[in-house]
Chains A and B, each alone.
Chain A
Amino acid sequence: MQSTNGFMKALKCRECGREYPLSATHVCEFDFGPLEVVYDYAAIKKSMTRSAIESRPQTMWRYRELLPVAKEPTVGTQVGFTPLVRAERLAKRLGIRELWIKNDTVNYPTLSFKDRVVSVALSRARELGFTTVACASTGNLANSVAANAAAAGLRSYVFIPSDLEQGKIINSLVYGAQVIAIKGHYDEVNRLCAEIAGKYGWAFVNVNMRPYYAEGSKSMGFEIVEQLGWKIPEHTVVPMASGSLLTKIHKSFQEFIKLGLTEERPYRVHGSQATGCNPISAAQKAGLDFFKPVKPNTIAKSLAIGTPADGFYALKVMRETGASADDVTDPEIREGIKMLAECEGIFAETAGGVTTAVAKKLIASGRIPAKDSAVLCITGNGLKTLDAIAGHTGTAREIRPSLREFEALLSTDEASPAIA
Chain B
Amino acid sequence: MPVKVRIPTPLRKLTNNEEVVEVKPGTVGEAILELQSRFPGIKERLIDETGEVRRFVNVYVNEEDIRFLQNQATALKDGDEISIIPAIAGG
Contact = CB atoms under 8 A, between A and B. Distances in A.
B81 to A, nearest CB: 11
Nearest to B84: A32
Interface in B40-91: 45, 54-58, 60, 63, 65, 67-68, 83, 85-91
A218 to B, nearest CB: 14
Interface of B: 6, 8-11, 13, 45, 54-58, 60, 63, 65, 67-68, 83, 85-91
Contacts of A242: 89-91
A399 to B, nearest CB: 45
A290 B67 CA distance: 13
Nearest to B11: A29
Interface string A168-212: 000000000000000000111011011100100000011100100
Contacts of A407: none
Given A114-B91, A186-B91, A293-B68, 5 more contacts: A138-B90, A140-B91, A191-B60, A194-B88, A241-B90
Contacts, number: 96
A194 B84 CA distance: 10
Contacts of B83: 191, 195
B90 A293 contact: no
**Interface magnitude class on chain A:** 35 or more
B58 A191 contact: yes
B56 A136 contact: no
Main secondary structure of the interface of B (DSSP, over half): mixed
Nearest to A205: B91
Interface stretch (A71-79, A93-101, A305-313, A335-343): A305-313
Contacts of B87: 32, 34, 307, 309
Q: Closest 8 CB pairs between A and B?
A: A242-B90, A141-B91, A137-B91, A309-B87, A198-B9, A241-B90, A32-B56, A27-B86
A314 B6 CA distance: 30
A119 to B, nearest CB: 15
A108 interface: no
Given A32-B57, A293-B65, A206 B88 contact: yes
Contacts of A15: 56
Contact of B54 (A32, A205, A207, A244): A32
A142 B91 contact: yes
B88 A26 contact: yes
Interface of A: 15, 26-34, 114, 135-138, 140-142, 186-188, 190-191, 193-195, 198, 205-207, 210, 213-214, 241-244, 290, 292-293, 295, 305, 307-310, 312
Contacts of A206: 88-91
Given A292-B67, A293-B67, A309 B88 contact: yes
B27 to A, nearest CB: 20
Contact of B10 (A27, A140, A186, A191): A27
A34 B56 contact: yes
A114 B89 CA distance: 13
10 contacts: A15-B56, A32-B86, A140-B91, A141-B90, A142-B91, A191-B63, A214-B89, A293-B68, A307-B58, A307-B87
Q: Which of B83, B88, B91 has the most CB of A within 10 A?
A: B91
Contacts of A290: 55
A311 B60 CA distance: 19
Contacts of B68: 293, 295
Given A32-B86, A142-B91, A194-B88, A188 B54 contact: no
Contacts of B13: 29
A254 B87 CA distance: 25
Contacts of A310: 89-90
Given A241-B90, A244-B90, A307 B65 contact: yes
Contacts of B8: 194-195, 198
B54 A210 contact: no
Contacts of A309: 56, 87-90
B53 to A, nearest CB: 10
A243 B54 CA distance: 19
B88 A31 contact: no
B88 A210 contact: yes
A168 to B, nearest CB: 11
